[in-house]
Amino acid sequence: MVVKVLYFGRLKELSGTTEEAVVLREGARIEDLFAACAAARPDLRKFRASLVAARNQEFAAWDTRVHEGDEIGFLPPVSGG
């Protein structure tokens, strides 16, 4: 399956892109998706503990299963206001 991944803030700068399409095996969870994204970019991994994930624009636990066509965002600590 293919999912869309969005990067924001410092993750966008680290990954060098705002979004990308990632191919995953069926049954994969958000944690697996992050590992796949970080495999090519070791710098991403050290931010893992400071991130939360969103699936289709809702906060989602890292063990949430992803589905074909999902939009997954990796969100650094928010600092709006």
Partner 1 sequence: MSRNGTDRVVIVREAIDTATLAREVRADEDGAVATFDGCVRNHSHGRATLYLEYEAYEAMALAKMNEIAAQVHEKFSINRVAMVHRLGRLEIGETSVFIAVSSAHRAAAFDACRYAIDTLKKTVPIWKKEFFADGAVWADGELPFTPKEPGGPVPAETPAAKPASN
Residues binding partner 1 (CB under 8 A): 6, 8-10, 49-55, 57-64, 73, 75-81
What is the spatial distance between Cα 35 and Cα 13, in angstroms, rounded to a whole number?
18
Gyration radius of the chain's alpha carbons: 12
Checking DSSP bridges between strand 19-23 and strand 58-60, what pairing results, if any?
unpaired
CB of 71 vs partner 1, minimal distance in Å: 9
What is the spatial distance between Cα 32 and Cα 34, in angstroms, rounded to a whole number?
5
Please say which residue, 1 or 51, places its beta carbon nearer to partner 1. Answer: 51
Please say which residue, 68 or 79, places its beta carbon nearer to partner 1. Answer: 79
CB of 26 vs partner 1, minimal distance in Å: 20
